[in-house]
Structure 1
Amino acid sequence: MSASIAPPVTIRTGTVPEGKVADFLTGRHLRDTPEEYVRQNLEKALVRQYKYDARDCAPEFAVKVGSSRKRVDVVVFLPGATHAQENAFILVETKRAGVSPASRTDGIDQLRSYLAACLNAKYGLWTNGDEQYCLAKRADGAGGFTFEEIIDIPALGQSEEDAQRPQRKDLKPATADNLLFAFRRCHNYIAGTEGKQKPDAFWELLKLIFCKIEDERSRRLDFYATASERASATSAASAKARIQRLFEAKVLAKYGAIFPASDSNIDLKPNVVAFVVSQLQGYSLLASPVDVKGVAYEEIVGSNLRGDRGEFFTPRNACRMAVTMLNPQPNERVIDPACGTGGFLITAMNHALAHIEKEERAQWMDPTRGTDEERQELYRARNEYLSQRVHGMDLNPGLVRAAKMNMVMNNDGSGGLWQANSLANPRTWRDDAPAQVRLGSFDAVVANPPFGANIVIDDEEVMNQYDLAAMWDRRSDGRWEMRVDKHGRRVLQKNQPPEILFIERCVQLLKPGTGRFALVIPNGILNNPALGYVRTWLAANVQVLAVVDMARELFQPKNDTQTSMVLARRLSPDEKAAAAAGHLEYPIFMAIAERVGHDKRGNVVFRRTETGDDVLVTRQELFAEIDPSTGEEVLRSTEVQERQVDDELPDVATAYLRWLGEQR
């Protein structure tokens, strides 16, 4: 079947002409340009992060500057005031990436001139996404103004002092791509200022991100840098000393497996530490949506740690589709034996955690807040799941380390990850692997094994574990038969691609009769006549539940391999006997996903109407934020209107669950 049904969770509410974007504040159709992309992210931040009322904000507002009129990209007015120049409070100038802040026409001086012309305006923000500057306008006592660079503009009702050193109540969950911008700014600043290679800059940035996360779990916030610390190398030393103490006391003590003793110092200059801290201190990373953090983190990881062993990270929409179809439950143990940076595991983990949270909150007197006891019980249930049911392995130690960090940013569960060759004999796996990790013990396996022509497995000790490492002969009746010697032992091939052996290892990890997997498998394995023995082995060992033929663009532009997502359940011994006798028959769900949300260059593709207009959708988005009165995390709901990405993978998952229900 072809999955082209519109997902039922969305509502068509209008169209946007091709090449246009609906303005977040006004809904007006504007040209879709790189500069507009930056502005739309800032507009969302002003409303969702800084809490300004959209009715008090205006894009492209004309102000009088000298004898001419200039359009300010976004103006925030005093609450409830008319949209007039004398009521302007914050001015925002957004530029496309690459525009220099020193530009005579488009740089910070342009913002200064606008601030000077708006007598009552107090703050300004200039950004091209990769760089950001915040200014406070001060009277100079002689009828003029000076401009002081500050850490951040204040949010609604927030004092400037609190904006420079936020308290817990001031922390803001990130929205849209603003966290991605912040991570990118920090990484580029480290690489450019320190002269470090990109991977080294990446690891130092992650140390500071970990400090930020652990600081959010503390009663007293120490992750901050004042404007004077950022401006002065001498003062910056105190900021670095404070963050180094935080790193030693909170991070090293808790994550010794991630940060070895030889890596116990933050290897950055004081002014660099102060800059990075100033870019992150206003966010609540713990309360930021999973997808926002995931997109930001994985882009930085992907540009630094992508290896040469066929490691191509699974797009998040493919992870979500597979996990939705697999539907791992809180009482089920899940593993990814080729976990990379943890994208599949985080998706599966959060799927199960959503079940836990829904069940727990349904028993609360107030589902949005809960009592101390109720929240503690939720924490206990989540922690029990994370500590006992989530596991992952990868051969690349750098990716395992990155995955652990990714897990910590997304609810944790990092204790179940370790570096190992998951194709090797389990007795060779490191001693720190949990004792309960053994073959035949998992309810669910999710994986995108490394694949590619440049990597093969030729270690005889490894290959001896697998039927699929043996020579197979095709008989005259077309059936495949494994070749054995006179002693009944497998006759091995010289080598075998890892993606074939991973299929068998994933089946070995599953509980017989009930365990199920979702695997990304190259289409060649599923349709190449010479690999018919792989399909024969699969038919003898698993019940294939679903095969989803994925569009070629899924891994582009990084990799051009065409793949399918295959779901299957491991057969019990009795079922294997029935399969061998030809008595096992069952239906298989099959789908073709022709569109996966991006083109071969990686550009996002939006769904269009028959007339070629973009489709707008409205949805309810549940997010966490910090209650200013208590400092506690509280769930909120907001209505979000946006263009619909032309992605059929959610449609596939919906169709599969409906089909599965019909089969039962």
Structure 2
Amino acid sequence: MDVLTEVLKDSDYALSVFDQAEIEELKARVMLRDVRGVQKPYVSCLIREKEILLKPEEIVRQLYLAKLLRQYKYPKDRITVEHPVSFGREKKSADIVIFDKDRPTVEYIIVELKKPKLQEGKNQLRSYCNATGAPIGVWTNGSQISHYHRKDPNYFEDITDIPNATQTLADILQERFTLKDLIMRDKIPNEGKTLKAIITEMEDEVLANAGVDVFEEVFKLIFTKLYDELKSQKDKTIINYFLEGQHFPRVEETPESYIALKGSDFEAIKQAVARIDDSRFRVLEFRNTGQSESELAHKIQKLFDEAKTKWGGVFPKDSTIQLSPSHLSICVSSLQDIKLFNSNLQIIDEAFEYLVNKSAKGEKGQYFTPRHVIDMCVKMLNPHKGEYMIDTAAGSCGFPVHTIFYMTGHLFSNDEIPEEEKEDVLKVFGIDFDEKVVRVARTLNLIAGDGETNVLYLNTLDYERWNERTQDRSWLNTYGKGLNRLEGLKKEPNSNKEFLFDILMANPPFAGDIKESRIIHKYELGYNQQNKPQSKVGRDILFIERNLDFLKPGGRMAIVLPQGRFNNTSDKQIREFIAERARILAVVGLHVNTFKPHTGTKTSVLFLQKWDDKKCPKVEDYPIFFAVSDKPGKDNSGEYIFVKNGDGKPKLDRNGHFIVDHDLHNHGGELPDGIAEAFQEFAKKEQFSFF
């Protein structure tokens, strides 16, 4: 173990925001000194020019000092460390201070390292900047980094970077910024942040006191920014063409042609992208470029209006951004350096899950399904072009969107989907009873499906009342096209009960019971073994029966269920009901951490194929694939666990996104073969009709 890793062990500091050359240079400067019989690491400080004991904070400080001197070209005489800042009678020490070029005693940039947690560090930084009047602040713990412009004592606005020694803050704010710059400066890989963390920070800064619906306003901004990136799709094509010529993979690629990048290859991709001439690229509009707050508000509203026209049926035509111009300025600055178009939607999903749960979605027992669980199900059910697929409890539509990816070979990108593939896209459906998540899902489907969507706002279980909703004119204006396609799949033209889908994947809500007798009486599983209607039935139980009704003979299904349904004595009737109607293909036990932090309920995924004389002839005795996941991809707190390189940094895929560490599938070769690959071998051996 090297000396830096040893010092950082068990601390909240890390080195992932620094490149390997900077880290190796610091390692070469470390000296071991005997202190009372113990070898201690020291380094000669680049500014103080004396030997300093290396503690975690000092490692990060020395690395950042080297960056200030070499990358940003600040002269030593403008930099000091442990700079005293007065708070009345009390004095505290700022970790690093850069003085103004023309006023050598006036603080210009303050860097905070002492508080290794973002919010604590930002609060400390805020106090230093307010006490000194410094207009720029930086916080880093070595694994994340934030740059701020102090607009006034109340608001700190994100900026892309700090100025170098020859620039001004205006140069940073007003620089020409294209899709090329966004790829290179994307906060997610470069600053080690998540979109959820950035939204949480926005809440702390402005949203909590803005007097608006946080979900609605953040949704509008994400919607608008996605559209802004879409408008640069021609530039994206040029970037991908250049990368392929340089033997780098595209910014987005298909799982089948996934090229595993090792180590810090994202840095190599950034260097390759840097060589592209973007002088004729479109300038991104979703940016705070130093114009007045009212001018920025007008620009973002105009962009939002364009997005509503492009992707109709998500927001009312007359909807406007409700944030005040000053609050909007802060939020745009926070989001502008995040590349939202990415390979698997995970960063957007986490953010929306957080926002929707603030609206008490969790009380209904609905949680967005982690993307690695979705991909396992898709790989195991192996959708083919031309097949019809539905998710009856769609949430943010992870299952439908990933089915589109799998069938078309196009991941979530701002490339056009060819006309011949749109027909396959429009065979994918989603239904959910929560209007907020339906709008999120429609947004993601509109983009993945290139402008059209079959995501419907309906209550799957209460199908006899669908007609009440579908006769509403405003509902039809939004959902009418998708409804017409769904009605074409009815088994009986005048009944909403049975359909003829090839594939169904769902993670139905399993908290709470259905108590309405009107609904319970429609289901066989609503009756006990004495054929008497029950007073209440678990929602997930009714979903089992309802989902089977959606499948045609030979159709296949994956459904997430509480583990108890597989082994509770009281649920024997449910298991017999399933076995009578379908072949059990597989049962995959998920780790208890999979749906944390929202629930610690142990779950399993049940895979079925409906009996059919041709595709799945009924037999009494047959093998079943069983597997249990040991690596959930999340820790006990529900935070994602990411794969790391040998140097302890999170490993990045070719899109510059973190790789969740799990055993459900091989992530296109980035991970060892997992449960999905084992099932595929089993399915081929058993000669399942869909392999």
Same fold (TM over 0.5): yes
TM-aligned CA distance change 1:104 to 1:151, over 3 Å: closer
Is contact 1:102-1:109 (8 Å) kept?
no
Structure 1 distance, partners of 2:24, 2:172, is: 23
How many residue pairs get matched?
Answer: 542
TM-aligned CA distance change 1:185 to 1:552, over 3 Å: closer
* 1:450 matched to 2:509: yes
Is contact 2:506-2:559 (8 Å) kept?
yes
Distance apart, 1:500 and its partner CA: 0.9
C-alpha deviations, 1:448-495, integer Å up to 9, x for none?
11112x3314242x344422223324xxxxxxxxx4xxxxxxx53333
Q: Which residue of 1 aligns with 2:549?
A: 508
Q: Which residue of 2 aligns with 1:133?
A: 147
Distance apart, 1:443 and its partner CA: 1.9
Q: Which residue of 2 aligns with 1:186?
A: 202
The secondary structure found in structure 1 opposite 2:484 is coil
TM-aligned CA distance change 1:390 to 1:617, over 3 Å: farther
* 1:223 matched to 2:285: yes
Distance apart, 1:67 and its partner CA: 8.2
Structure 2 distance, partners of 1:563, 1:96, is: 33
* 1:593 matched to 2:629: yes
The secondary structure found in structure 1 opposite 2:598 is coil
Distance apart, 1:35 and its partner CA: 4.3
Q: Which residue of 1 aligns with 2:328?
A: 273
Is contact 2:148-2:159 (8 Å) kept?
yes
* 1:246 matched to 2:303: yes
Q: Which residue of 2 aligns with 1:546?
A: 586
Match of 1:166 among 177, 181, 195: 177
Matches within 5 A, 1:54-65: 62-65=45-48
* 1:97 matched to 2:118: yes
Q: Which residue of 2 aligns with 1:435?
A: 484
* 1:237 matched to 2:248: no
Is contact 1:285-1:409 (8 Å) kept?
no
Q: Which residue of 1 aligns with 2:258?
A: none
Match of 1:203 among 216, 236, 252: 216
Structure 2 distance, partners of 1:619, 1:662, is: 35
Is contact 2:110-2:128 (8 Å) kept?
no
TM-aligned CA distance change 1:661 to 1:619, over 3 Å: farther
Residue 588 of structure 2 aligns with an amino acid whose one-letter code is V
Residue 394 of structure 1 aligns with an amino acid whose one-letter code is D
Q: Which residue of 1 aligns with 2:9?
A: 31
* 1:415 matched to 2:453: yes
Is contact 1:164-1:226 (8 Å) kept?
no
Residue 259 of structure 1 aligns with an amino acid whose one-letter code is F
* 1:258 matched to 2:314: yes
The secondary structure found in structure 2 opposite 1:516 is strand
Matches within 5 A, 1:159-558: 160=171, 164-172=175-183, 173-176=186-189, 177-180=192-195, 181-196=197-212, 200-218=213-231, 221=283, 223-226=285-288, 228-229=290-291, 235-248=292-305, 250-261=306-317, 264-287=319-342, 290-353=345-408, 355=409, 378-381=417-420, 383-386=422-425, 388-407=426-445, 415-425=453-463, 428=467, 430=470, 431=476, 432=480, 433-437=482-486, 438=490, 439-452=498-511, 454-460=512-518, 462-473=519-530, 483=531, 492-513=533-554, 515-558=555-598
The secondary structure found in structure 2 opposite 1:175 is helix
Q: Which residue of 1 aligns with 2:160?
A: 152
TM-score norm. by structure 1 comes to 0.68
Distance apart, 1:445 and its partner CA: 1.0
TM-aligned CA distance change 1:424 to 1:130, over 3 Å: farther
* 1:622 matched to 2:654: yes
Runs of 5+ in structure 2 lacking a partner? 28-42, 53-57, 80-97, 99-108, 151-155, 233-281, 471-475, 491-497, 667-673
Structure 1 distance, partners of 2:526, 2:353, is: 34
TM-score norm. by structure 2 comes to 0.66
Higher RCO (Cα < 8 Å, 6 or more apart): 1
Is contact 1:597-1:605 (8 Å) kept?
yes
TM-aligned CA distance change 1:534 to 1:111, over 3 Å: farther
RMSD (Å) for aligned C-alpha atoms: 4.7
Q: Which residue of 2 aligns with 1:659?
A: 682
Structure 2 distance, partners of 1:68, 1:272, is: 46
Structure 2 distance, partners of 1:617, 1:153, is: 21
Distance apart, 1:268 and its partner CA: 0.7
Structure 1 distance, partners of 2:604, 2:439, is: 28
Distance apart, 1:498 and its partner CA: 1.6
Is contact 1:131-1:185 (8 Å) kept?
no
Is contact 1:56-1:76 (8 Å) kept?
no
Structure 1 distance, partners of 2:646, 2:178, is: 42
Q: Which residue of 1 aligns with 2:661?
A: 645
Q: Which residue of 1 aligns with 2:106?
A: none
Structure 2 distance, partners of 1:350, 1:92, is: 43
- With 534-543 and 124-133 compared, the bigger mean Cα shift is at 124-133
C-alpha deviations, 1:41-81, integer Å up to 9, x for none?
x44xxx6xxxx986899699943159897734534368899
Distance apart, 1:100 and its partner CA: 4.4
Match of 2:609 among 546, 558, 569: 569
Distance apart, 1:384 and its partner CA: 4.0
Distance apart, 1:590 and its partner CA: 0.7
Task: Give % identity.
Answer: 25
TM-aligned CA distance change 1:87 to 1:534, over 3 Å: same
Distance apart, 1:328 and its partner CA: 2.2
Residue 535 of structure 2 aligns with an amino acid whose one-letter code is K
